[in-house]
Amino acid sequence: QLDEQEKQLRSLEKELSGYEKDESDLEKSIRSDEKTIKEQEESLQVMNAELTNLSTEVLSQTSEVNAMPEGAAKEERSKYLKDLEKKKKKLTNDIKSAENRIDKSQRDIRSAQNNIPDKQVRQKETKTKIEAQQAVVRKFENKYNTIRGY
């Protein structure tokens, strides 16, 4: 009987350890997501500044191309303009991706923050069960020692 009660105690301790690990993992996830948000926000600042510069350059090149006479120089400038527009489109997509990563990280943080209290409640409940089980184990140990004493 003592072995059975000790086995039950170990099982409860393992369960508690699992809840503690889950909480720790959630906290790590929050820190990781916060870091991602910070990095993406910094990246967004750089990309937005670059986008502003590119937009200005595209406007400038567009007016220059429109003012040029037909010929090789105009074709060359048109190619350059198309490359600028491609870069602008890619940069716009990169900005959208960074914003999506920020949104996802913020959702993940909210989710983790909502799950932590549940893990803490379960830990508390399990600790109470462990204390009760420890009392049962002590009772059986005392009984066992009393019997062995005879």
Q: What is the mean pLDDT of each run of 10 residues along the chain (150 residues)?
A: 90 95 96 97 97 96 91 92 96 98 97 95 96 93 85
Task: Give pLDDT, residue 18.
Answer: 95
CB within 8 Å of 25: residues ≥ 6 apart:
none
Q: How many CB atoms lie within 10 A of CB 75?
A: 12
Task: Give pLDDT, residue 76.
Answer: 92
Query: What is the C-alpha separation between 98 and 41, in angstroms, rounded?
Result: 8
Task: Give pLDDT, residue 149.
Answer: 79
Residues in the chain: 150
Task: Give buried/exposed letters for 62-72 (b at 16+ CB in 10 A, else e).
Answer: eeebeeeeeee
Task: Give pLDDT, residue 150.
Answer: 76
Task: Give pLDDT, residue 112.
Answer: 96
Query: What is the C-alpha separation between 133 and 131, in angstroms, rounded?
Result: 5
Task: Give pLDDT, residue 1.
Answer: 77
Vertex 74 angle, CA 69 and 78, to 5°: 140
